[in-house]
Amino acid sequence: MYEDAVELAKRRGFFWPSFSIYGGFAGFYDYGPLGVLLKDNIVKIWKEEYLDDGAIFLDSPNVTPEPVFQASGHIARFSDLASECDQCKNKFKLETVLGFNKISSIPKSLKDAEELVEKYNLKCPVCGSVIKKVYDFNLMYRVSGDYYLRPETAQGIFVNFRLLNNYNRGKIPMVVGQQGKGFRNEISPRQSLIRLREFNQCEVEVFLDPENLKFAELYDYKKIKIRPNTGEDLYISVKEAYGKKIISNQAFAYFVLKTQVILEKIGISNDKLRFRQHEPDERAHYAADSWDAEGLIDDEWFEIVGIANRTDFDLRNHENSSGNQMRIKINEKDVIPYVIEPSYGIDRILLTLISQSMEKKDGKNLLRLPYYMAPYHIAVFPLMKKDNLKEKAEELYSKLKKVDSYILYDETGTIGKRYARQDEVGTPFCITIDYQTLEDNTVTLRNRDTAEQERIKIKDVLDSNFIKNLIENKSKL
């Protein structure tokens, strides 16, 4: 479905490669009219779910001065091993070259990588020449002088920790979210929204007492695939995973569970979602433990959310580097809080959602998004443009817009084509004004998933709760 999803996204206006009139530049994508609305709906669910946990939010700059990333370790350690072909001048992630040459060992350092390159005559995946050059490639974009584009939104929260905690009246646990752009100079951007150079994150930093790594009560929820780094896949609830000490602390388990709930609410299938623990040598430089939420597209798993135990790594380093105290009073002691971080990649979630929601029905595309996630809730059509049907449909459209903003009007093409267009972009309901409307002020209401139609009075459609009930009471869940 991946290929179909990308084709649909471009043709119908969800997303497409940026700057295409200049030939396109790898790693950059635009959101089109429908994509903007769908992305907003994903962010809305994330925000509302965390508001339920008492979260506060921040919006800090993309451009960040060097001392922040000196302290956070990104200047020294936020890099990928890369290689370059002397012949064709193409640059690759070293793991791409190793994969192409069917070498399974993963180098842990530049020295390991140099030894591998020396040992095997690694062939360039593009021109076949022998690759000799391997190096550490820092993934941050340097904008000018001593400024960088942030590779994660998180540091804005860490450097503001004291101000945020004052705002929060010194309370811990404290949950802080930030929605915004991240920038990484990826060596090999790939698979549309999967590996971008500019991407959208919704990050959450949860500050906790290191001696009490607990958050709200864990509850029993649906079983899910869990893959710890010590063994086989398990199919258990997150609560059970914590009970069996597969997930090491209660707060971490709570935010794994929270992520399962959020992703499911967005429309990611529970049976196409798993939680995979990182191997120790796979973790980011700041993490003591990491689990990825991975979504299945076709038969490949992709990381869509990263959940990390960042301990006091960031706050401690900012305290040391800036000379400003990051410790607060917890039970009469001066303490640097620990941080659990669920970090949501909105682009990957959106791509996974579209890919997993696409179905073929009678040879036509159907995008079975949960109703409330759809870019538009209702499309209004006149059966024909003549005999006062168009005017009547326009009148209903403008009245409906006063009740709900997410209403479309369409009068082009046959009625069958109009239904098909809306099915393909996930609009859950279509209303058609026909000849009977002129007689009795009723319309047809058609459901996207069943294609069933019912007659309904215009006055009922205009009731202030009608659309809300339609959208909220039913979904693909």
Residues that bind ligand GAP (CB under 6 A): 152, 154, 184, 186, 195-196, 199, 201, 203, 303-306, 341, 343, 345, 347-348
Residue 69 Cβ, how far from ligand GAP at the closest point, in Å? 13
Residue 390 Cβ, how far from ligand GAP at the closest point, in Å? 44
- Residue 328 has a CB neighbour count (10 Å cut-off) of 21
Which one, 84 or 294, has the nearer CB to ligand GAP? 294
Contacts of 21 (CB under 8 A, 6+ apart): none
Which one, 199 or 372, has the nearer CB to ligand GAP? 199
**209 touches 233 (CB < 8 A):** no
> What is the distance between the terminal CA atoms of the chain, rounded to a whole angstrom?
20
Q: Which residue in 208, 119, 126 sits closest to 172, CA to CA?
A: 208
Which one, 196 or 393, has the nearer CB to ligand GAP? 196
Written as six digits, the tokens of 44 are 């809305």
Residue 195 Cβ, how far from ligand GAP at the closest point, in Å? 5
**CB closest to ligand GAP, residue no:** 345
SS3 category, 275 = strand
Which one, 203 or 319, has the nearer CB to ligand GAP? 203
Residue 282 Cβ, how far from ligand GAP at the closest point, in Å? 11
Residue 149 Cβ, how far from ligand GAP at the closest point, in Å? 12
Which one, 264 or 411, has the nearer CB to ligand GAP? 264
CA 58/CA 47 separation, integer angstroms: 12
| Pairing state between β 338-345 and 453-457 | unpaired
CA 453/CA 468 separation, integer angstroms: 19
Which one, 290 or 442, has the nearer CB to ligand GAP? 290
Q: Which residue in 78, 66, 252 sits closest to 159, CA to CA?
A: 66
CA distances from 71 to 68, 75, 322, 323, 362 (A): 5, 8, 8, 11, 57
Residue 236 Cβ, how far from ligand GAP at the closest point, in Å? 23
Which one, 133 or 285, has the nearer CB to ligand GAP? 285
SS3 category, 189 = coil
CA atoms within 13 A on the CB side of 333: 7
Residue 353 Cβ, how far from ligand GAP at the closest point, in Å? 13
The C-alpha angle with vertex 446 and arms to 444 and 447, in degrees rounded to 5, equals 155
CA 432/CA 419 separation, integer angstroms: 10
- Residue 150 has a CB neighbour count (10 Å cut-off) of 25
Residue 297 Cβ, how far from ligand GAP at the closest point, in Å? 13
Which one, 202 or 218, has the nearer CB to ligand GAP? 202
